[in-house]
Structure 1
Amino acid sequence: MAELELRHLRLVCAIAEEPSLTRAAARLGVSQPSLSATLQRIERRLGGQLFERERTGMRVTELGAYLVSSARVVLADMESLLAGADARTRAPAGALRIGACPGAIGPNLARGITEILPTDDVTLEVAGIGQLAQDLESRRLDFAVLDECAGVPLPTSDRLDTRLLVAEPVFVALSEGHPLAERPTVELADLAPEDWAIAPMRDGNDQVVLSRACAVAGFRPRIRHEVNEPATCRELVAAGGAVALAQPTSRDGSGIAVRPLAGDPIILERWLVWHPAGPHAQHAADVYRCAARAYLSQLDRNPDYRRWWDRHPEAHRQLSAAIGEPVVRVGA
């Protein structure tokens, strides 16, 4: 039997623990076709079927049950090994490790933590949601802000604690010279002829989310460029080579126009996630307040988003309550 990698063992366990292949894919932060293809490769290596598809979901075969039970032992041993190694190489006492998806909230959070907590030793990791989730599970990170589409489960286990920061609309970034940039809002259907620049599948579910929203709008997006670095994406959009999904806190300028999508067809949720057994877990409420302030520091970068924020207090009740800010700004 060919050797299996640890990621293959995690994949098989996730499929066994979820009611469907689609849910397992969402948990792992991959597409369902990609997960199905990987499962088929594993089964070919083993020479037998691990799961049978049924109307109610995936049923584990005898071979699959053996592999899953053995894999859980191996993964538990590996987690123990990593925790032991981490304890021997851990940063000095008081150091706090945070992570965030690309954007301004990570640096702002790191700076804010040093102003509230009794530590000036904060490290920041910026990565895709899948990598951040793994680092939280293995306790290589203490806290992380994870971005995920509303209704799509975070790729984390029940061992992690989560708290919602905000549910925000996704905007679109266009070249300043694009005809649609003159409109106050852009209909998603009007972007059907455009080329798109978007993060690769390995870094999150952006492509799946975009495809679903475009399907509702009556077209299939033409994903021309896979880009995982925001500055490169902005340069590509500014040059007129593509359009892209954009955080609503993004500024206009440098050749970019950021506009709301009519009807808010895509809603992104931002979550603070942490391991309850981590060395700084007792500071979760303080870190949440830091993350809330870090988010609010970006709010007025885009006037369109500030107006949306004031019209939708339900999208940020927990965040506003945590820092005592009024839910709706008077006189906005």
Structure 2
Amino acid sequence: MAELELRHLRLVCAIADEPSLTRAAARLGVSQPSLSATLQRIERRVGGRLFERERTGMRVTELGAFLVSSARVVLADMDTLLAGTAARTRKAAGEVRIGACPGAIGPGLARHVTEMLPTDQVTLEVAGIGQLAQDLETRRLDFAVLDECAGFPLPTSDRLDIRQLVAEPVFVALPETHRLSGESAVKLADLADEDWVVAPIRDGNDQVVLSRACAAAGFSPRVRHEVNEPATSRELVAAGAVALAQPTSRSGAGIVVRPLAGDPIILERWLAWNPAGPHAKHAADVYRCAALAYVRQLDRNPDYQRWWDTHPEAHRQLTRVVGDDVTA
């Protein structure tokens, strides 16, 4: 039992709270196979089954019920400890801690928050969606921009407030020498024989999202590389692989970023915050900061700028908040 970590306790409680392992995985921002493997490791450590797998879902065992009830006490105490410690280490003017999933929006958000809010320090954390949601819960972060594909719920609880920024298509990154690099839009089915670069299963739902979209296009993707670092991913694409890409990603340095025909994958971006946090009163201002940071990325990819101009319904709320203030 001494080998169990806080993340293991949170995982077990999440499974107990959900009717199925799939729902628990979505809540935690991980894949179902990854969650199942982690649960098996935890059960080996405690020396017994915590849940029985039944056709209707997961049923907690007597051992599991004891562990879950004890874990809730430990986690509640730890959350109180962390929140109190974080609040006491803030500087007098009020440090603002923000987070974002990997991508270009984080630095721009930090810059605008620094300019707009009455604070003497802004810190930025770049992490996966599950980690960001957890850090918001424990008030290690004040605000975070969370990215999740449509059809997958955010791994947030009712203790967090969320507001959508935009829903947009996912593009594809190809080597600039690829036979389809000159197309205005690439059919997913035409990439059936390619080697794919995808984030590891433990870091999110990217592989599930890709597999579902490819299955609808009639093939199973050949995942050759598992990488969750943008620069390395770009190098692998330049060397011959392909990868899903955020629509604001730049072409260049041996790669091109193109739309996928028919927009088979939609990415949703949300601003999330803890209403009990010390800066929650500035949520509207931080939302505007996130909107500005995002809109000022549009010229990074002309194909995305064209999509943006022809789909005002996808970003109506964001555009309303930004207004005409879109200069860099």
Q: Answer whether contact 2:93 2:118 (CA < 8 A) is retained.
A: no
User: What corresponds to 1:320 in structure 2?
Assistant: 319
Post-superposition offset of 1:97:
1.1
Q: Provide the rounded CA distance (Å) in 2 between the counterparts of 1:35 and 1:102.
A: 22
Q: Provide the rounded CA distance (Å) in 2 between the counterparts of 1:186 and 1:91.
A: 50
Q: Provide the rounded CA distance (Å) in 2 between the counterparts of 1:34 and 1:91.
A: 39
Q: Answer whether contact 2:34 2:201 (CA < 8 A) is retained.
A: no
- Amino acid corresponding to residue 70 of structure 1 in structure 2: S
Superimposed CA distance per residue, residues 166-201 of structure 1 (whole angstroms, 9 cap, x where no aligned partner): 011000001111001021111111111111112222
Post-superposition offset of 1:57:
2.0
Superimposed CA distance per residue, residues 265-315 of structure 1 (whole angstroms, 9 cap, x where no aligned partner): 111111101111111100000100110111000112222212211222221
Matches within 5 A, 1:203-214: 203-214=203-214
User: What corresponds to 2:310 in structure 1?
Assistant: 311
- The percentage of counterpart residues that share the same residue type is 83
Post-superposition offset of 1:111:
1.1
Choose 13-22 or 116-125, whichever is displaced more: 116-125
Q: Answer whether contact 2:51 2:61 (CA < 8 A) is retained.
A: yes
Distance 1:111 1:27, change over 3 A: same
Q: Provide the rounded CA distance (Å) in 2 between the counterparts of 1:197 and 1:263.
A: 21
**1:219 lines up with 2:231 in the alignment:** no
Q: Provide the rounded CA distance (Å) in 1 between the counterparts of 2:37 and 2:198.
A: 22
Q: Answer whether contact 1:2 1:46 (CA < 8 A) is retained.
A: no
- Amino acid corresponding to residue 298 of structure 2 in structure 1: L
Q: Provide the rounded CA distance (Å) in 2 between the counterparts of 1:215 and 1:194.
A: 15
Superimposed CA distance per residue, residues 44-70 of structure 1 (whole angstroms, 9 cap, x where no aligned partner): 333333222333322222322222111
Post-superposition offset of 1:208:
1.5
**1:270 lines up with 2:259 in the alignment:** no
User: What corresponds to 1:261 in structure 2?
Assistant: 260
Q: Answer whether contact 2:16 2:68 (CA < 8 A) is retained.
A: yes
Q: Provide the rounded CA distance (Å) in 1 between the counterparts of 2:193 and 2:226.
A: 18
Q: Which runs of 5+ in 2 are unaligned?
A: none
Q: Answer whether contact 1:2 1:45 (CA < 8 A) is retained.
A: no
Q: Provide the rounded CA distance (Å) in 1 between the counterparts of 2:293 and 2:35.
A: 35
CA-atom RMSD in angstroms:
1.8
Secondary structure of 2:157 counterpart? coil
Q: Answer whether contact 2:93 2:119 (CA < 8 A) is retained.
A: no
Matches within 5 A, 1:30-69: 30-69=30-69
Matches within 5 A, 1:260-299: 260-299=259-298
User: What corresponds to 1:330 in structure 2?
Assistant: none
Superimposed CA distance per residue, residues 214-265 of structure 1 (whole angstroms, 9 cap, x where no aligned partner): 111121111111222212211221222x111111111222211111001111
Post-superposition offset of 1:153:
1.2
Q: Provide the rounded CA distance (Å) in 2 between the counterparts of 1:152 and 1:91.
A: 37
User: What corresponds to 1:114 in structure 2?
Assistant: 114
Q: Provide the rounded CA distance (Å) in 2 between the counterparts of 1:99 and 1:125.
A: 4
User: What corresponds to 2:248 in structure 1?
Assistant: 249
TM-score, normalisation: structure 1: 0.93
TM-score, normalisation: structure 2: 0.94
Post-superposition offset of 1:86:
2.0
**1:165 lines up with 2:162 in the alignment:** no
Q: Answer whether contact 2:189 2:218 (CA < 8 A) is retained.
A: yes
Q: Answer whether contact 1:130 1:202 (CA < 8 A) is retained.
A: no
- Amino acid corresponding to residue 201 of structure 1 in structure 2: I
User: What corresponds to 2:20 in structure 1?
Assistant: 20
Q: Provide the rounded CA distance (Å) in 1 between the counterparts of 2:33 and 2:163.
A: 30
- Aligned pair count reads 325
Q: Answer whether contact 1:136 1:143 (CA < 8 A) is retained.
A: yes
Post-superposition offset of 1:9:
1.2
Q: Provide the rounded CA distance (Å) in 2 between the counterparts of 1:280 and 1:212.
A: 39
Give 4+ residue runs of structure 1 displaced > 4 Å after superposition: none
User: What corresponds to 2:131 in structure 1?
Assistant: 131
Q: Provide the rounded CA distance (Å) in 1 between the counterparts of 2:3 and 2:255.
A: 49
User: What corresponds to 1:80 in structure 2?
Assistant: 80
Secondary structure of 1:164 counterpart? strand
Secondary structure of 1:144 counterpart? strand
- Amino acid corresponding to residue 261 of structure 1 in structure 2: L
Q: Provide the rounded CA distance (Å) in 1 between the counterparts of 2:2 and 2:125.
A: 34
